[in-house]
Amino acid sequence: MVSEKGKRNRDQDQDRRKTKKKKRKAPNDHEKKEGASEQLRFFVEQFQAANDVQLSSLESESLKADTCILEVSQDADSDVKIFGKNIKAAFGASWKEVLCEGQLIEGKINAGSPAVLILSASALRCIHLLRGFRSMTKECHAAKLFSKHMKVEEHVSLLKNRVNIASGTPSRIKKLIDIEALGLSRLQVLLLDMHPDVKGYSLFTLPQVRDEFWDLFKNYFYQPMIKGDLRICLYGPYQLAGRLKGKQGLPLPDK
């Protein structure tokens, strides 16, 4: 039989362990700011290298980490449910209205215009990342926009309904935007899957996919990001994702 004193000591030990866990998971504001700034610097370096351009001083000054980058917790890299909660939190008190409701609203919620768009190098990764949003897509299903097993015409039909969250590959996403089936009027978060595949390639490193992504970004997402209307979320080990195999690799920027 456990004594009353022993029980109190055990409860105190458990409380201390819980407190330590909470402290480890709560980065301060300075750390968050530094992390977002590092991600923005990395992304801009990759953008410039991939497109062989140099941003003007005016463009560089327009890029602010707090308006251009959405950070997710480190725990989210291994758990898509945590990652989904992080994205939900980015929409504040209006998250349910923006991410869950399924009705079109004339003049406000247009068909085929997601608030969150996920880009990945493969269909399997697109599906995997959507698992983090299951609790939010019961009334309004997420749109799976990739070429595997689905024709463009099927996607066009799908996008005639309300879409809050969509996930796809760069080539199919660009095609749907080009033909005005996929709208960008509500888009607030562009999530980029940085996780490498079994061969070590990612969205930034798989040659054809990489070119398709930067073409898509340059044409449709660059200006909204510059204006502060769109936040980029780098999901996964982004610094490793910037290294290409072989001679075509983009160098990581020096710290």
Looking at this protein, which amino acid is placed at residue 35?
A: G
CA distance 99 to 188: 11
So what's the pLDDT on residue 4? Answer: 58
H-run or E-run covering 33? helix 29-51
CA distance 136 to 100: 5
Token pair recorded at residue 38: 């590092």
Token pair recorded at residue 205: 């490193």
- What's this model's pTM, rounded to 2 decimal places? 0.81
CA distance 57 to 203: 28
So what's the pLDDT on residue 40? Answer: 93
So what's the pLDDT on residue 73? Answer: 73
So what's the pLDDT on residue 175? Answer: 97
List per-residue pLDDT tens for the chain, 255 residues long: 555 555 555 655 555 555 444 444 445 554 555 689 999 999 999 999 888 989 989 888 889 999 999 988 766 656 777 878 888 889 999 999 999 999 998 888 999 999 999 999 999 999 999 999 998 999 999 999 998 878 999 999 999 999 999 999 999 999 999 999 999 999 999 999 998 888 888 899 888 999 999 999 999 999 999 999 999 999 988 777 666 543 343 443 333
Q: How far from each other are the two terminal CA atoms of the chain, in whole angstroms?
A: 59
**Cα distances (angstroms) measured from residue 82 to each of 61, 152, 164, 252:** 32, 32, 19, 28
DSSP states along 137-162: -SSSPPEEE-STT--HHHHHHHTTS-
DSSP-derived secondary structure letter, 200: S
So what's the pLDDT on residue 193? Answer: 93
